[in-house]
């Protein structure tokens, strides 16, 4: 006990910026907007489709390539992998009441519609 050192933690007031694409609320917004914009009246998407949509949305520099692939102008398949940050954001969205999950689908709830806001709902 005599040789024990007392460790005093130091807390910094310096802000640590988290990149926007890593912020949960930003991902939740992409999830909600994706379900709202793509699913139509059914208001749900499969987790896989949702993961692909968010993956594509956050990679703006590849949008032209994705469009070419979707319109059969490009033959090579895009490399899209599972994104654990998106899956975690889906869990947060469920906990906050924006969405619910059932089997392999993510459903948009009323609170999610409110997050979309009237501006996008008018355009839809």
The pLDDT of residue 1 is 58
Answer yes or no: is pLDDT of 47 > 60: yes
Tokens, residue 99: 């969405």
When divided into structural domains, the chain yields a total of 1
- Show the domain range for 27: 22-75+83-123
Percent residues over pLDDT 90 in the chain: 36
Domain harbouring 113, CATH code? 1.10.10.10
Tokens, residue 6: 């007392």
The pLDDT of residue 11 is 74
- Which is more confident, 53 or 118? 53
Q: Report which secondary-structure segment, H or E, holds 108.
A: strand 105-108
Distance set, CA 68 to CA 51, 54, 72, 103, 119 (Å):
19, 18, 6, 32, 29
pLDDT band, residue 123 (cuts 50/70/90): low
């Amino acid at each position: 006990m005599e040789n024990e050192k007392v460790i005093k933690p130091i807390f910094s007031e310096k802000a640590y910026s988290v990149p926007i694409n890593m912020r949960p609320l930003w991902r939740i917004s992409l999830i909600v907007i994706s379900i709202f914009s793509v699913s139509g009246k059914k208001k749900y998407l499969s987790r896989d489709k949702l993961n692909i949509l968010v993956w594509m949305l956050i990679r703006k520099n590849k949008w032209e390539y994705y469009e070419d692939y979707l319109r059969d102008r490009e033959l090579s398949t895009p490399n899209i992998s599972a994104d654990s940050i998106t899956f975690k954001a889906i869990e947060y969205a469920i906990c906050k009441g924006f969405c619910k999950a059932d089997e392999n689908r993510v459903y948009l709830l009323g609170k999610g519609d409110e997050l979309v806001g009237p501006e996008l709902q008018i355009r839809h």
